[in-house]
Structure 1
Amino acid sequence: MRVLPACALIGALLGAGSAAAANTSHDFNQLPEIGTAAASTLSIEKEMEYGDAYMRMLRASMPVISDPLLSEYIQDLGHRLVANASDVRTPFNFILIQNRDINAFAFFGGHVAIHSGLFLHARNESELASVMAHEIAHVTQRHLARSMEEQAKKSPATLAALIGSMMLAIAAPEAGIAAIHATTAASAQGQINYTRSNEKEADRIGIATLAKSGFDVQAMPRFFGRLADQYRYASKPPAMLLTHPLPESRITDSRSRAAQYAPHKVGTSARYQLARSRIIARYANLESDAALDWFDRELKKNDPTRRDALNYGKALVYIDAGQYQKAHALLDPLLAKDPTNRFYIDSATDLDLHQKHYDKAINRLKSALKSYPNQNVLNLNLANALQEANRNSESISILTRYTYDNPDDPNGWHLLAQAQAAVGRRDAELAARAELLALRGAWEKAIQMYIQASQIVEVNSLDQARYDARIDQLRLARQRFSNL
């Protein structure tokens, strides 16, 4: 299933209200005290409000990958780590951003963003997990809130301005660092030292989380050491090294801490390799020939643990290039070997729909749902296949339930808007499109669409009452968003 992109300029949203402060924090050795260090500045509840607002801004301003398979993978991996983390006080949400630059960042409310470029550089799942565990530690130790408290003591800027420029510094380090120099009194060197001690704390706690989660703890110093070596003399280091400095002392410290754990052999993760292949095939901005060349070069290394994933990636490239027979030749044996694999089912469904084999796709998905009822990826694929087959009423039934259970997933609202338009239900189409706008913080447009929907339906009907109630909710959300 292919998904819609979401792109715009981050500066337009962060703008004038984001003009002060740094992405900085410092290290406390007494771990039990860490969680309460920032309580006087920012409550957990307020952190979650800021996190929700910033998540909406990210959806509007960055190319967030809404691919259901990749979203499921990154959420599963992230929550495996969270389940073994300490001091967890908020729900966690993990997102992928389509960007070949190496970066990851955490922000208020348990939100962790991962650049797709990390999949191009992390050689295995433990290396990717090491970056995520580090970011989870930033959240659980409340590094952002602690930084707010420190900065508030040094600068007359308001908390909102401090948070605004800190968020900019996290998501767009070059712009954020410029804002820091322009608006804070503390020296740049002091800011960097503060960040470095904070990074060591996140490394220490992240390694413990890795160990508890069954990953290779050596992956963290190995990955970070490789990055440091690769970009040691680069005139323009990747964004991750701007917000996560890697001096030799930090790498040495992480190696020392990892060495305290008993060696633990971790097998190849098939899901990681499939996710990596999917990103290279569809989200690395490679032309078809370049992508196929990459997969062929990797296949020549003759690693049996990666062969299926690499052939899967080639099949995706062939599907997107319209070379369906070549795609079948690679995908059919994979599906026969592992018929319940959702990566393969998804791609086989795409292949069927491109060839207008609608019943075949629908029957495959319904069969899979018998084994995995209410599975999100399968339900979205089924809703999409039903729409392609012009069975929109059946699709609406699935999507109505899906959007109720998953209101923050733009894929459900996008498909629902399409299906409602196809059956001529203009009010319901407007309502679905309004929810998409609300997810991006476009409150005025969302409210106007709901007002239009309310005016279309019968006066005093249940639908009108529902739309009017949602208008009130959105107006309240708009006010809260504005107040932040």
Structure 2
Amino acid sequence: MPLLSTSSRIISFGQYGLKFVRTATTALLLVISSLLTPSVIADTDKLPSIGSDQPDRLTMHQEYRLGRAWLRQYRAASPVIYDPIMQNYLETLVNKLAVEAELYERRLNLIAINAKTINAFAVPGGVIGVHSALLLKAKDEDMVASVLAHELAHLSQRHYARRKDNAEGQQLSLLTAMLTGLVLSANGHSQAGVAAIASSQAAAIQSQLQFSRLHEQEADAVGFRVLKDAGFDSSGMARMFELLQAEARTNGGSAPEFLLTHPLTQSRIAFAKEREIKDGTEAFYSNLEFQLIRVRAMLQQTPIKERPVVLTALLKSVSDSIKEPVKLYADILSALDQDKTQKARELTEQLALQPDHLYFRLLTARVLVMTGQSDQAFSLLKTQLKETPDNMAVKAFTAQTYLNAGQTPQAMEAFKKLSRERPEDPWVWQQLAKTAADGKDLLTVYKANAEYHQLTGDIPQGIKELKLAREYASNDPIEFARIDHRIKDLEKLFKELNFQ
């Protein structure tokens, strides 16, 4: 049984791996070509200079559409983590930083990837990706926040748009190469990713993927300010640089994935350390929530037989004051993952002696349902919802608990509400389809599956699902019209993306 209901379409990169990625990048090339109309291309030559507060609005809209087109392709080919708790944590962290970043595009879309490479990236249009290994390897939240602040700085300073004078060539080659490299990296083929990038358009692509020293220095300075203003320990940036250096030495000089596109120089390290001293911030503190998220990342990317060793290494970096609750959390989740319900129940009794934390309450509710104590579980969750009514993880966990407890009508209502709040979240649509199938509501199954498919790179399948829904709703004129309108929306989108 998975930690949470998760699903990802993981592409096998054997002898056909590079062939698949070339196909994917060709498709994205068509996407970008269709979005870059002649008039738009002409306008992109007038990109804002450094420090300009009046970006070309058409270019910004163009970047947003490019980013969402890219995201569909990336989801289709990468091992995405669909974990509401991790998703909510990362979104909250990024939003806290984004408040202090001078972003032109604030419609951010965050994606977590199950990958053992240390990496994070930002794509024009507000798409931000985080590899699970970044969470696992970083020892504290401030280190991760420093990376995300750096990525937000690249977006706020529009370094992608400013990288080349020829905006048309830059956009086409940059985003297609980025898709190729990041897909291969996420699937454990970082060296293959570099090779694919190098062979596709030689040094030009590699040059575009690597930010210039000026851009890196600017992102460091802006990111440092964002980190500090958002209330994080600014020394996290220097500690992150030290971790990346250590990883490179451990791997025999092979740089972590993050450094392939963000070269680390001695001047950047010196900058971080100098600012750290001038800022005079206190030493970093142990954050229980972050350490529990590290546990979730560890369980996502680590095979069962390897977990004891990896968990031991993780605990060495955790302060003594919270080692016990962190280990207990890992043990309970691992027991559930292996269907050892009785062991999980016995371990959960120890949570009463640990700090009162949201993640412990959610875990307790899950164990209660699995041991036939659904009433107690829902009492706990209803109390939590009153305390944190806007917490996405709590709402998602409650909906899934209804589903696991066999309370299909309540689960349907909860997932439908979530789908209205999070229309771009594939996991929500997938769970709504599953719930509707349990409730034998075929109309909702078709509609939810359509949204899941179109968000994960298969718009034609989404249209097929909607056509089935339209046929099913033939006796309901209002619903028929709604579905017909949505079909036309997706057909228009498909045509714009030029996949025909």
Shared fold per TM-score greater than 0.5? yes
- Alignment correspondent of 2:327: 310
Secondary structure of the residue aligned to 1:150 is coil
Q: Is residue 327 from structure 1 mapped to residue 327 from structure 2 by the alignment?
A: no
How far, CA to CA, are the matches of 2:313 and 2:246 in structure 1? 24
The AA in structure 2 aligned to 1:446 is G
Write out aligned runs for 1:78-477 (5 A).
Answer: 78-147=94-163, 149-152=164-167, 157=169, 159-169=171-181, 172=184, 174-175=192-193, 178-180=196-198, 182-183=200-201, 186=204, 195-232=212-249, 234=252, 236-280=254-298, 282-287=299-304, 289-295=305-311, 303-335=320-352, 337-338=354-355, 341-477=357-493
1:217-269: CA deviation from partner (whole Å, max 9, x where unpaired): 22212221232243147253321121121132332233233333223344222
Secondary structure of the residue aligned to 2:87 is helix
1:86-137: CA deviation from partner (whole Å, max 9, x where unpaired): 3444322322111011111110111111100012211111111111111111
How far, CA to CA, are the matches of 2:144 and 2:458 in structure 1? 33
Secondary structure of the residue aligned to 2:197 is helix
1:307-350: CA deviation from partner (whole Å, max 9, x where unpaired): 312221121112222333432343333256555x3311222233
- Alignment correspondent of 1:16: 26
Secondary structure of the residue aligned to 2:498 is helix
> Measured at CA, do residues 145 and 180 of structure 1 come closer, stay the same or move farther in structure 2, by a change above 3 Å?
farther
How far, CA to CA, are the matches of 1:12 and 1:421 in structure 2? 36
Contact 1:331–1:348 (8 Å) recurs in 2: yes
> Measured at CA, do residues 379 and 191 of structure 1 come closer, stay the same or move farther in structure 2, by a change above 3 Å?
closer
How far, CA to CA, are the matches of 2:221 and 2:175 in structure 1? 26
Secondary structure of the residue aligned to 2:165 is helix
Secondary structure of the residue aligned to 1:106 is strand
Task: Give the deviation of 1:462 after TM superposition.
Answer: 2.0
Contact 2:121–2:129 (8 Å) recurs in 1: yes
Contact 2:25–2:177 (8 Å) recurs in 1: no
How far, CA to CA, are the matches of 1:296 and 1:228 in structure 2? 22
Secondary structure of the residue aligned to 1:64 is coil
How far, CA to CA, are the matches of 1:47 and 1:100 in structure 2? 29
- Alignment correspondent of 2:59: 43
Task: Give the deviation of 1:18 after TM superposition.
Answer: 5.8
The AA in structure 2 aligned to 1:216 is D
How far, CA to CA, are the matches of 1:14 and 1:143 in structure 2? 25
Task: Give the deviation of 1:209 after TM superposition.
Answer: 1.1
The AA in structure 2 aligned to 1:240 is F
Task: Give the deviation of 1:421 after TM superposition.
Answer: 1.5
Higher mean C-alpha deviation, range 104-113 or range 85-94: 85-94
Task: Give the deviation of 1:158 after TM superposition.
Answer: 7.8
Structure 1 residue runs of 5 or longer lacking an equivalent are 21-31
Contact 2:51–2:157 (8 Å) recurs in 1: yes
Higher mean C-alpha deviation, range 371-380 or range 77-86: 371-380
Contact 2:426–2:456 (8 Å) recurs in 1: no
> Measured at CA, do residues 332 and 246 of structure 1 come closer, stay the same or move farther in structure 2, by a change above 3 Å?
same
> Measured at CA, do residues 306 and 462 of structure 1 come closer, stay the same or move farther in structure 2, by a change above 3 Å?
same
Structure 2 residue runs of 5 or longer lacking an equivalent are 12-19, 31-47, 185-189
Contact 2:197–2:205 (8 Å) recurs in 1: no
Task: Give the deviation of 1:83 after TM superposition.
Answer: 1.1
State the TM-score, normalized to the length of structure 2.
Answer: 0.84
The AA in structure 2 aligned to 1:270 is L
How far, CA to CA, are the matches of 1:395 and 1:380 in structure 2? 10
- Alignment correspondent of 1:23: none
Secondary structure of the residue aligned to 1:465 is helix
Using the aligned pairs only, state the percent identity: 27
How far, CA to CA, are the matches of 1:185 and 1:62 in structure 2? 25
1:369-420: CA deviation from partner (whole Å, max 9, x where unpaired): 2323353222222222222333212221222211111112223212211222
1:416-449: CA deviation from partner (whole Å, max 9, x where unpaired): 1122212222122111111100111211110011
- Alignment correspondent of 2:4: 2
The AA in structure 1 aligned to 2:490 is L
Secondary structure of the residue aligned to 2:321 is coil
> Measured at CA, do residues 111 and 88 of structure 1 come closer, stay the same or move farther in structure 2, by a change above 3 Å?
same
How far, CA to CA, are the matches of 1:451 and 1:158 in structure 2? 38
Q: How many residues align?
A: 466
How far, CA to CA, are the matches of 1:298 and 1:56 in structure 2? 33
Task: Give the deviation of 1:192 after TM superposition.
Answer: 8.3
1:158-207: CA deviation from partner (whole Å, max 9, x where unpaired): 8434432244345546536643554367596x668853332222112111
Secondary structure of the residue aligned to 2:484 is helix
Contact 2:415–2:431 (8 Å) recurs in 1: yes
1:293-319: CA deviation from partner (whole Å, max 9, x where unpaired): 444566588711333122211211122
